Amino acid sequence: MTNGVTFDFVHRFEPGTDASAPPLLLLHGTGGDETDLLPLGRALSPGSALLSPRGPVLENGMPRFFRRLAEGVFDEADVRRRAGELAAFIAQARDAYGLAAPVAVGFSNGANIAAATLLLHPEVLAGAVLLRAMVPFAETPPADLAGRPVLLLSGALDPIVPADNAERLAANLGRAGASVTHTVNPAGHGLSQADLAAARAWLANTIAT
């Protein structure tokens, strides 16, 4: 099926079983891998094709999607580089697997690279579910997200993502034209059942293939 393609990312792919379900790009958090979010993807959108790459950057042996200088302080040059690499991988995988543009489902570091990719390479994603995301750039790059649907799920008790940072991300994406739904649930940095229910309902009601 891949015609001998050599991919730039270690990844897992699960073909879809429901043509009406959107393909999902699953982007794990720090220390996860390409298997981490497969159960989440299956739960959020049964029947969707699942594309799940492993972050190519190691931090103390833990995979990530880009470098950071400290907790909450990103190496923005590396963010831009890695977002470009991820966009190229998405295009490569779409061609190899015969996929429509996927909806990114990212958690923490994965949500941050999803937000960066949306802003820098909006053509490769049909939308995004951003779970515990932060603003990826000190100055938001110009982008035309033209009604692209985005669900941002934040935790009211999150010790890592300040509330004003998540609000700024929602505002930045909205100014770029995205159709943003920002929900703050009574949770910390980890995911809650309320997050899962909100994401599943949003995918079912908002994303059309």
* Phi then psi dihedrals of residue 177, to 5 deg: 105, -5
The CA distance from 99 to 49, in Å, is 8
List the strands of the sheet with 149-155, edge to edge: 11-14, 50-53, 24-27, 103-107, 127-131, 149-155, 179-185
pLDDT value of position 8: 86
pLDDT value of position 7: 87
Please pick, among 36, 154, 158, 195, the residue that the annotation labels catalytic.
158
pLDDT value of position 136: 96
Please pick, among 75, 121, 189, 192, the residue that the annotation labels catalytic.
189
For 29-65, the pLDDT digits (tens) are 999 999 999 999 999 999 999 999 999 999 999 999 9
User: Which tokens sit at 151?
Assistant: 């669900």
Whether 189 is a known active-site residue: answer yes
For 63-82, the pLDDT digits (tens) are 999 999 888 889 999 999 99
CATH for 11-206 (3.40.50.1820, 3.60.15.10, 3.50.50.60, 1.10.3720.10): 3.40.50.1820
Q: Which position has the token pair 């270690």?
A: 10
| pTM summary value | 0.96
Helices of type H across the chain? 38-44, 76-97, 109-120, 163-175, 193-206
User: Which tokens sit at 88?
Assistant: 């190229």
- Mean pLDDT over the full length of the chain: 95
Whether 108 is a known active-site residue: answer yes
Please pick, among 48, 108, 154, 195, the residue that the annotation labels catalytic.
108
What's the average model confidence in pLDDT over 139-146? 94
What's the average model confidence in pLDDT over 133-141? 95
**pLDDT band (50, 70, 90) for residue 107:** very high
Structural domain boundaries of the chain? 11-206
3-state secondary structure of 77: helix
pLDDT value of position 73: 87
3-state secondary structure of 17: coil
